[in-house]
Amino acid sequence: MNKTVVRTVTNERTGESYKVVDHSSGLTLLLAPMKDFAMTSAMFGTDYGSIINCFKTIDDEDFITVPDGIAHYLEHKLFENEDSDVFELYAKTGADGNAMTGFENTIYLFNCTDNFADSLKILLDFVQKPFFTQENVDKERGIIAQEIRMTLDLPKRKCFFNLLNTMYRNHPVRVDIAGSEESIAMITPELLYKCYYAFYDLHNMALAVAGNFDVDEVISICDEYLKPCEDKNVEVKMPDEPLTVIKDKVEENFKVGMPVFNIGFKCVPCSESEMLRKETVAELMLTLLTGRMSPLAKKLRDEKLITGTLSHEVFDGKGFFSLILSGESQEPERVFELVCDAIEEAKINGFDEEDFELLKKSEFGATVRSMNSPESYAENMLAYHFIGEDAFSQERVLAEVTLSDVEAAVRDLFREDAVTLSIIR
């Protein structure tokens, strides 16, 4: 049996630190005690989300493909144990429990101010105790189908997935996290168990805790509740994806008071080791290009072209990397035209160095402030762990990025054959 090993990760700039525990069970614990905080947040996550639908383990001869939406379906079903309802158990401890499935990860969490130890035992117990029968799987199908139908009435979500479906030909990021009514109809108890034992392997998971708690107590509870298992060495396959988009524009009519739009720029994907730096550079570049103080934002205000602000997002993960702008406008094509003009201007003239330095300081401050909340701290530890980084990596990368890096990103990331405009009229 492996030994439990504890090490400390320290932020050299602020002196802040947290514990990383390589537990004997195979699970990684990320523990950040926060003195004088009343709340504690715990997140038990697996490196498994909706885009993972083709995989193999050491027990499989070949890759298997599972229906879209199965990761989300599995998250729903884990809350229903053979002998209890998890939310009823949390109600007794006063904890606020929840879960979320994303494109790449699934996370089970709770926040509490009292009875932390009892709540943690509930979390560790139910996530490790799957119970799937034909009856309870069939029962859940109707609930999730209703959830899928409800999302079809959300114009901004519809606009976003129309964009992804037009940008990506093969990558599963183009599919809604919950799947479709057709895909979930193919989900069986056997397939749920198959995915569970492949990805809910403790070697593929992590537990992040931040707030008012004792490190030794958490390790002791883990000693008692974690069930050591064999590392399944799961291998994930992603389809080949061309660098070009399917078409440059997609439109759909909907009941909206103001047209909604997304502009997507499809970029070359990168490895996990490159992702944080590329993401950070792209985020700084987009803020300088489209932020509230940019010449583009001023032009949009002067022409009264946009309601609210032009939002931006670096949308990236395993096998995909995109830059997405979104907003509401009566003239989305004109907004698109001005965005393209601003990109060409930035390619030629770059950005103001003083604006860049001010933005770096602002981003650094926002990164530090995000660690003042137990929930944000736990979320950051978990998210960075799953890409092979620590929770302070963002600050180190920010310190290293130069204006030349950001100006190079304008030239490298925007390509004429890889842009799509999605509009909901």
Catalytic residues: 75
**Reading across the β-sheet that carries 235-236, which strands appear in turn?**
64-65, 54-56, 235-236
**Burial code of 255-286, b = ≥16 C-beta within 10 A, e = fewer?**
eeebbbbbbbbbbebbeeeebbbbbbbbbbbb
In 3D space, the residue among 151, 148, 119, 153 whose CA is nearest the CA of residue 44 turns out to be: 119
| Residue in the block written with tokens 């499809």 | 266
Give how far Cα 369 sits from Cα of 182, 364, 385, 392, 397, Å: 44, 9, 19, 12, 17
Quickly count: other Cβ atoms within 10 Å of residue 412's Cβ.
14
Which of helix, strand or coil describes residue 244?
Answer: coil
Q: In which region does residue 36 sit, left (phi positive, over 0), alpha (psi from -120 to 50) or beta (all else)?
A: left
> Is 78 within 8 Å of 89 (Cβ atoms)?
no
Quickly count: other Cβ atoms within 10 Å of residue 87's Cβ.
14
> Is 152 within 8 Å of 417 (Cβ atoms)?
no
